[in-house]
Chain A
């Protein structure tokens, strides 16, 4: 594995993230349609916003990809004129940084359901920290705050953990991820026959 990200890695990460950026644009209205109900149903689907980082990491598996993916997805959303404006960009950076830290703690070697779910929860923690500063969520009634945190964490595991793994497994079956991996011994062996 070469050190740092090659142009291919960066381009693929950015393009994956922008594809998710488009999906986020469709996701946004669903989010604020659920939000005024007040009972935090919206928080369950919040986890979708962390999926770009996880999917890009699972495809490329190199340091820095998760952070780059969140930054790219949020800036794509920002430049397309997101209703949330500037805050998507800042939230994206913080969420990507937190997911990246968990993946770094495991040395970028492990990519099982547990590690990926931990990274999703880390991204979720990042978004909650931003909400403490921006949205005064500590001033919600206690039951409401607990509900918010539980819903968002559960949604993170379901969407950016389990769904991300499902998507990447399906992508691997299409064979598209193979072009991004370094050539293995098997490839050389198949040429020698």
Chain B
């Protein structure tokens, strides 16, 4: 969890969290409609610059965070590369049929997954969760009932992790062997989830009762401890991705890296 790591504040931290979330959601949809691998590969540079240099975390830690990206790239692209449809076969062995078409498509998918991962991680590393929900209440008019429930829930995460560890030790002390049969896996899922869930439900219920006893209501006429506003950094963030997208579209039109324009109709 990013909260526990020391890091510097950068301009990404100063963006209004609602703006950041909405821009990311728009980018998600935009990337969904990129079918040209030239655009996709070049576009990956945009989030990569932000992720590598502007999250305020030390470079070593950023590199550590990037290790799963390789796994994601491999796992997302591999089934398409190995088993995708296509005409021009490069390699054939049993069920495996690697074609030029499936290779391009698999790479395209891998890059898309990495772009999503980088955008998501950049958001998680540069956004305070509490400020996010305060901002959602103020800028996007989220009902306080939901916002405060989420914030209370997030606060419970460390307690739940602690409980999970306690359950693991308790099982070890009592000599429970993890068996890797179907019934063994199901019984250990139950063994962990039932105590965790029942404690969580009790705790959530008590918090809700306590909040209502202190006159918590979902009235819109409330005051906020943190006041959040828009700033020039919001414009900078929107402009960064807007201009970058235009730049990528023009470069990829003039200097294509691959001889393919649409991975769906190869």
Contact = CB atoms under 8 A, between A and B. Distances in A.
Contact of A72 (B71, B150, B216): B150
A81 B153 contact: no
Given A14-B204, A140-B85, A81 B78 contact: no
B95 to A, nearest CB: 8
Contacts of B129: 79
A176 B78 contact: no
User: Which of B79, B121, B125, B264 has the most chain A CB within a 10 Å cutoff?
Assistant: B79
A85 B123 CA distance: 9
B205 interface: yes
Contact of B116 (A6, A13, A32, A84): A84
B156 A15 contact: yes
B82 interface: yes
A12 B125 contact: no
B interface, over-half SS: helix
Given A7-B216, A19-B200, A38-B78, A12 B205 contact: yes
Name the interface size band of chain B. Answer: 35 or more
Classify the interface of chain A: helix, strand, loop or mixed.
helix
B116 A87 contact: yes
- In the complex, which range does the number of interface residues on chain A fall in? 35 or more
B197 interface: yes
A15 B200 contact: yes
B49 interface: no
9 contacts: A19-B196, A35-B75, A68-B146, A75-B150, A78-B123, A84-B72, A84-B116, A85-B118, A139-B105
Interface of B: 1-2, 24-25, 27-28, 32, 65, 68-69, 71-72, 74-76, 78-80, 82-85, 96-97, 102, 105, 109, 112-113, 116-121, 123-125, 129, 132, 145-146, 149-150, 152-154, 156-157, 160-161, 164, 186, 189-190, 192-194, 196-198, 200-205, 207-209, 211-212, 216, 218, 263-264
Interface of A: 5-8, 10-19, 22-23, 32, 35-36, 38, 40, 55, 59, 68, 72, 75-76, 78-90, 133-136, 139-141, 144, 163, 166-167, 170-171, 174, 176-177, 179-180
Given A38-B96, A79-B154, A139-B264, 11 more contacts: A12-B201, A15-B200, A18-B153, A36-B74, A84-B72, A84-B117, A87-B28, A87-B113, A90-B28, A134-B32, A135-B80
